[in-house]
Structure 1
Amino acid sequence: MIVGSNSDLLKNALDASSMRQEMISSNISNVNTPGYKAKRVEFESVLRDSMDGTSMRSTHSKHYGVNDLSSVSPAIKAQEGNRINENGNNVAIDTEMAELSANAIYYQALTTQMGNHYSMIRSVLR
């Protein structure tokens, strides 16, 4: 395949950023919902664990695990550490707005990287 695993990894990172955007939006929209617990999308930590060898690796086609970095996918986790309001909700609007801004910058950086990746492939093919 001419595109390779870098493209797959960038695609997975873009998918994680998109999923993170949806999760942040959900958290913001449920800021006043009694009992709602904020959620986070984890991708970078899963990728880091895969890179340093602390995650599970697949040794057989019927096993679960990570064969290569391009197969790393995001995970949704419950947000911990936030103060719980009197209604049982733990959404911190300031944190969510900061995460929203950070995710927008992250997504923009990924799209720039993806564009550069394809630009390099185009220049090689000429």
Structure 2
Amino acid sequence: MPSWIDNALDLHAQAIAVRGRRAEILASNLANADTPGYKARDINFRDVLAQARGGSTLHTTSERHFTSASSGLGGGEIVYRTPNQASLDGNTVETQVEKAQFGENAVRYQASVNFLNGSIKGLMLALRGE
């Protein structure tokens, strides 16, 4: 595939992949909301996408930012979410927060799909000479 096609589609394709992986992680958090000792996980979309594109990552400047955990997702880090209110059984999943994050991620996933579709349509028009 020519590099100009890669350039036109690459960002949106990577964004879709990262958002898809994030949806899996958030769904896992919701599924384990009642599991004692389960630690809510997430990924920092901007950091993972920057790493995928070969850029630099952001650094935390506050104790309320995500904290490091295990690596995953092609060089990106899966991080543990710091709860607003800790539960007695050690579970850090806050159902309302997870549902809000899942919903926001779903909307952004759909936006990335729409952008990718628009880019493909634009390339098809250009290839046809219209």
Aligned residue in 1 for 2:104: 102
Unaligned runs of 5+ in 1: 56-71
Aligned runs of 1:1-126 on 2, under 5 Å? Answer: 1=2, 2-47=4-49, 54-55=56-57, 74-126=76-128
Unaligned runs of 5+ in 2: 58-73
Deviation per CA, 1:62-92, whole angstroms, max 9, x where unpaired? xxxxxxxxxx964311112432200000100
TM-score normalised according to structure 2 size: 0.73
Q: In structure 2, what residue type is equivalent to 1:113?
A: F
Q: In structure 2, what residue type is equivalent to 1:124?
A: A
RMSD of aligned residue pairs (Cα, Å): 2.3
TM-score normalised according to structure 1 size: 0.75
Cα 1:25–1:46 shift into 2, 3 Å: closer
State the aligned residue count: 109
> How far 1:49 sits from its partner (Å)?
7.9
Q: Percent identity?
A: 29
